[in-house]
């Protein structure tokens, strides 16, 4: 097969235009072209009204060697690289203890899948419930203002990304085809095939729920075991600090010497326990801010012009950044985070008495509003010095302020952009109806954000308006607070994937600071499963 890149065609090209473009690129007769597969399809919307599709194709031709020889030096024609993921070799004999994975988010699920596919019969511990029951509990907060601390948007089967936009792209590098493995396993579990080739794939919430169930059934069929409603509460270490097992919330002890820690960024109690146990960790930067909502039509028109609404384009997204200059916010970056086209803002707290925002959408992305986090970069040195877990106290402080400002019943504080920029509280809302459930309280968001973040967002919104006309429209709604953009700490691991000072503990995924998003968390789960297998193999050989 040959890989052809940068094939550009107009948005509304005819079906056989792709074939014609391949023939022209390779300068071959039609009879020599055997097959075309779309490997990737993106679009270039920089020229509004003249949006082009950009294809990467895998093409089968007669006499491939001759075509390649003739095209030598042509950078957009090359042999198709290997895309299949190869499982690492399994240990030569079963280990005495089964590997344990803590957390059923994308990182834990892919760690489980790989370990199960290697025949290692892993055990998964998840503090939350199976995904269907968890969905009911999550709706409990959104519809009835009732939070279930162990079963919510953050905790439960599927992890934090289950009620999300299901965006599946990431800037991470990948020389072992782990990204492809994640996407292919998602397709097997029911994701649309197009996630394999569109440049910015997404799944949406409803499909994710059933996909997670199918993955569980597959893992169990391979001998993997799930234990829901089971929180890992304490690590048992030997005198050499080697992991011996886990004390669990049901009072039992699980002997284990290989533990994957994939607990996500909201497992604050678990982070505190690990810190008290002396597991090496360090504070890391994250961000704080608000969600902004606009009419989706405004974003579509600005991005796609007269071609807005084209089925191949879908609802438009954006990614924007501004570097602040005002003294009160100097050196801060303000950027859009987790943009959800045609989606809703969701209540994402896992702790009572706190309010946190995030965003989600369905596959169709056809809700009336576009939303995105507008967040400000923060660093431990400047904003939460002193302890590796000081970022948690910082988050809690602002989440509590948001809870109080929202009315103390899980409504979120909200403000019109015009009022926010003018420094006056909102007393009502306008054209943009906020989607946050269980509801919002119009107020002054500056009471729920550090002063530098207020100054930074005030500087950034007009700058964003110059990039997306209407972005700072008076009736756009800000809802707060967005505090969980990523983990506030990193649990460092060495080249074998193990904690720097606690052998047998394999920190992974977003909570440990090694991923940011569903795809990268899944990839890290695969990477850490490979590390566990390598360590198990070494142990079996040494025994
Ligand atoms: P998590 O998914 O957080 O999973 C951790 C799991 O560990 C949880 O199920 C938790 O219950 C469990 N756990 C925690 N502590 C313990 C313990 N002590 N014992 C047992 N179990 C424990 N990312 C994207 O790429 N695209 C998106 O569109 C997107 N949208 C999002 C929307 C929302 C509302 C949210 C909240 C997040 C979104 N994200 C999105 C981020 C994405 O969900 C995370 O990056 C990803 O889920 C991280 O995966 P993880 O496996 O590392 O951790």
Ligand 1 contact, 203 CB (< 6 A): no
Rounded to the nearest whole angstrom, what is the distance from the C-alpha of residue 103 to the centroid of ligand 1?
9
| Exposed e or buried b per residue across 493-507, where buried means at least 16 C-beta atoms within 10 angstroms of its C-beta | beeebbbeebbbbbb
Decide if 410 contacts 145 (C-beta within 8 A): yes
Q: How far is the CA of 535 from the centre of ligand 1 (A)?
A: 26
Nearest ligand 1 atom to the CA of 361 is 28
Residues 341, 359: contact at Cβ < 8 Å?
no
Angle at alpha carbon of residue 186, lines to 180 and 188, rounded to 5°: 105
C-alpha–C-alpha distance, residues 335 and 210, integer Å: 32
What's the complex ipTM? 0.99
Q: 444 with 505, same domain?
A: no
Residue 334 lies in a domain: yes
The verdict on the CB of residue 212 being under 6 Å from ligand 1 is no
The whole-angstrom separation of Cα 436 and Cα 357 is 8
Could you list the beta-strand ranges (E) of 408-468.
Answer: 412-416, 440-442
Residues 477 and 495 in one domain: no
Mark whether 359 and 333 lie in a shared domain: yes
Give the residue whose CA is nearest to atom 11 of ligand 1. Answer: 155
Query: Tokens representing 251?
Result: 């009072």
Residue of the nearest CA to atom 43 in ligand 1?
161
* pLDDT score, position 541: 64
What gap in Å lies between CA 361 and CA 293, rounded to an integer? 13
Say yes or no: CB of residue 101 within 6 Å of ligand 1: no
Residue 75 domain flag:
yes
Q: Are residues 138 and 158 in contact, defined by beta-carbon separation less than 8 angstroms?
A: no
What's the pLDDT at 364?
A: 83
Quote the CA–CA distance of 183 and 185 in Å, as a whole number.
5
Is 103 close to ligand 1, i.e. is its CB under 6 Å away? yes
Q: Which H/E stretch holds residue 413?
A: strand 412-416
Dihedrals phi, psi of 66, to nearest 5 degrees: -65, -40
Establish whether residue 127 lines the binding site of ligand 1, counting it when its CB lies within 6 angstroms of any ligand atom: yes
Residue 84 lies in a domain: no
Q: Does one domain contain both 295 and 406?
A: yes
Residue 140's Cβ-count burial label (10 Å; 0-12, 13-18, 19+) is middle
State phi, psi for 368 to the nearest 5 degrees: -70, -25
Query: Which ligand 1 atom is the nearest neighbour of the CA of 128?
Result: 11
The verdict on the CB of residue 509 being under 6 Å from ligand 1 is: yes
> What is the rounded distance in angstroms from the CA atom of residue 515 to the CA atom of residue 170?
10
56 in any annotated domain = yes
Cα–Cα distance, 10 to 47 (Å, whole number): 12
DSSP 210: H
User: Where is the domain boundary, 432, 447, 482?
Assistant: 482
Q: Are residues 133 and 200 in the same domain?
A: yes
- Residues 300, 441 within the same domain: yes
Residues 224 and 113 grouped into a single domain? yes
Atom 36 of ligand 1, nearest CA residue: 160
Which of 264, 359, 519 has the most ligand 1 atoms within 8 A of CB, as the residue to mutate?
A: 264
Rounded Cα gap, residues 454 and 376, in angstroms: 9
Are 407 and 400 spatial neighbours (Cβ–Cβ below 8 Å)?
A: no
Which atom of ligand 1 lies closest to the CA of 202? 28
Per-residue confidence (pLDDT) for residue 543, from 0 to 100: 64
Residue with tokens 């109080």: 404
How much distance in Å is there from the Cα of 196 to the middle of ligand 1? 22
The counts of H helices and E strands in the chain are 13, 23
| For ligand 1, atom 39: residue with the closest CA | 161
Can you spell out the DSSP letters for 150-163?
TSSSSSSTTGGGSS
Residue 162 lies in a domain: yes
Q: Same domain, yes or no, for 328 and 267? A: no
Residue closest via CA to ligand 1's atom 6 equals 103
One domain for residues 515 and 473 = no
Q: Is the CB of 526 under 6 A from ligand 1?
A: no
Q: How many angstroms does the Cα of residue 532 sit away from the middle of ligand 1?
A: 21
Of 79, 111, 141, the residue that ends a domain is: 79
Distance CA 536, CA 61 (A): 45
Q: Report angle CA 489, 343, 349 to the nearest 5 degrees.
A: 35
Three-state SS annotation for 497-515: CCECCCCCEEECCCCCCCC
Please indicate, yes or no, if residue 95 is contained in any of the structural domains: no
DSSP secondary structure, 333-371, as one string: EEEEEEEETT-EEEE---STT---EEEE--TT--SSEEE
Instruction: Identify whether 88 is part of a domain.
Output: no
| Cβ-contact 178, 135 below 8 angstroms | no
- Decide: 189 and 135 in contact? Cβ < 8 Å: no
106 within ligand 1 shell (Cβ under 6 A): yes
Q: Which atom of ligand 1 is nearest to the CA of 518?
A: 25
Domain, as residue range, for 220: 100-281+487-542
Helix (H) or strand (E) holding 274: helix 268-276
Residue/partner pairs of 182-188 with CB below 8 Å, 24 or more apart: 182/106, 182/110, 182/519, 182/522, 182/523, 182/526, 183/519, 184/85, 185/110, 185/113, 185/215, 186/211, 188/214, 188/218
Q: Are residues 105 and 235 in the same domain?
A: yes
Task: Choose which residue among 158, 160, 234 to substitute to test ligand 1 binding: the one with the highest number of ligand atoms within 8 A of its C-beta.
Answer: 160
Same domain, 311 and 404: yes
| CA–CA dist 218, 249 (Å, integer) | 26
CATH number at residue 45: 3.30.70.2700
- Does 515 share its domain with 470? no
CATH code, domain with 104: 3.50.50.60
Among candidates 40, 53, 109, 136, which has minimal Cα distance to 81? 40
Ligand 1 contacts CB of residue 515 (under 6 A): yes
Q: How many domains does the chain have?
A: 3
Tell me, yes or no, whether 94 lies in a domain.
no
Report the atom number in ligand 1 closest to the C-alpha of 109.
51
Residue 255's nearest CA partner among 239, 271, 241, 236 is 236
| Per-residue pLDDT tens listing for the chain (543 residues) | 999 999 999 999 999 999 999 999 999 999 999 999 999 999 999 888 899 999 999 999 999 999 999 999 999 999 999 999 999 999 999 999 999 999 999 999 999 999 999 999 999 999 999 999 999 999 999 999 999 999 999 999 999 989 888 889 888 888 899 999 999 999 999 999 999 999 899 988 888 899 999 999 999 999 999 999 999 999 999 999 999 999 999 999 999 999 999 999 999 999 999 999 999 999 999 999 999 999 999 999 999 999 999 999 999 999 999 999 999 999 999 999 999 999 999 999 999 999 999 999 888 898 999 999 999 999 999 999 999 999 999 999 999 999 999 999 999 999 999 999 999 999 999 999 999 999 999 999 999 999 999 999 999 999 999 999 999 999 999 999 999 999 999 999 999 999 999 999 999 999 999 999 999 999 999 999 999 999 999 986 666
Q: Is 231 in the pocket of ligand 1 (CB under 6 A)?
A: yes
Q: How far away, in angstroms, is 183 Cα from ligand 1 center?
A: 17
Q: Give, in order, the Cα–Cα distances in Å from 343 to each of 128, 339, 372.
A: 25, 9, 9
Query: Domain boundary residue among 452, 482, 512?
Result: 482
């Amino acid at each position: 097969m040959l890989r052809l890149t940068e094939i550009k065609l107009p948005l509304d090209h005819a079906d056989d235009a792709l074939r014609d473009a391949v023939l022209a690129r390779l300068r071959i007769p039609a009879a020599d072209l055997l097959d075309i597969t779309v490997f990737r399809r993106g679009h270039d919307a920089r020229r509004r009204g003249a949006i082009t599709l950009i294809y990467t194709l895998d093409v089968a031709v007669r006499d491939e060697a001759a075509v390649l020889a003739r095209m030598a030096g042509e950078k957009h024609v090359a042999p198709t690289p290997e895309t299949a993921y190869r499982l690492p070799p399994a240990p030569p004999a079963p280990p005495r203890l089964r590997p344990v994975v803590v957390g059923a988010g994308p990182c834990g699920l892919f760690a489980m899948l790989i370990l199960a596919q290697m025949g290692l019969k892993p055990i998964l511990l998840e503090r939350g419930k199976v995904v269907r029951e968890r969905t009911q509990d999550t709706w409990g907060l959104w519809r009835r203002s009732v939070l279930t601390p162990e079963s919510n948007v953050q905790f439960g089967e599927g992890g934090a990304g289950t009620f999300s936009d299901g965006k599946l792209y990431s800037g991470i590098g990948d020389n072992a085809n782990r990204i492809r493995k994640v996407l292919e396993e998602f397709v097997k579990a029911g994701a649309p095939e197009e996630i394999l080739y569109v440049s910015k794939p997404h799944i949406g919430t409803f499909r994710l729920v059933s996909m997670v169930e199918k993955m569980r059934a597959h893992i169990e069929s391979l001998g993997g075991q799930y234990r829901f409603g089971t929180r890992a509460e304490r690590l048992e270490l030997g005198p050499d600090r080697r992991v011996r097992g886990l004390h669990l919330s049901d009072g039992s002890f699980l002997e284990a010497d290989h533990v994957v820690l994939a607990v996500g960024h909201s497992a604050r109690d678990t982070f505190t326990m690990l810190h008290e146990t002396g597991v090496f960790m360090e504070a890391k930067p994250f961000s704080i801010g608000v969600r902004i909502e606009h009419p989706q039509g405004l974003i579509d028109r600005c991005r796609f012009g007269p071609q807005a609404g084209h089925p191949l384009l879908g609802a438009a997204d954006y990614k924007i950044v501004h570097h602040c200059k005002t003294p009160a916010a100097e050196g801060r970056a303000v950027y859009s985070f987790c943009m959800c086209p045609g989606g809703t803002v969701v209540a994402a707290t896992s702790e009572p008495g706190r309010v946190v925002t995030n965003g989600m959408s369905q596959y169709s992305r056809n809700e009336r509003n576009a939303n995105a986090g507008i967040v400000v970069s923060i660093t431990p040195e400047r904003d939460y010095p002193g302890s590796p877990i000081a970022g948690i106290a910082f988050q809690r402080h602002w989440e509590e302020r948001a809870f109080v400002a929202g009315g103390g019943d899980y409504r979120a504080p909200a403000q019109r952009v015009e009022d926010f920029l003018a420094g006056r509280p909102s007393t009502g809302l306008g054209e943009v109806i906020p989607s946050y459930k269980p509801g919002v309280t119009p107020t002054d968001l500056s009471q729920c954000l550090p002063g530098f973040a207020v100054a930074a967002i005030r500087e950034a919104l007009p700058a964003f308006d110059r990039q997306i006309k209407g972005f700072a429209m008076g009736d756009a709604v800000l809802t707060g607070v967005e505090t969980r953009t990523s983990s506030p700490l990193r649990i460092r691991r060495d080249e074998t994937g193990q904690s720097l000072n606690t052998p047998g503990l394999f920190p992974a995924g977003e909570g440990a600071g090694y991923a940011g998003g569903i795809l990268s968390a899944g990839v890290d789960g695969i990477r850490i499963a490979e590390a566990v297998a390598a360590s198990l193999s070494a142990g079996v050989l040494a025994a």
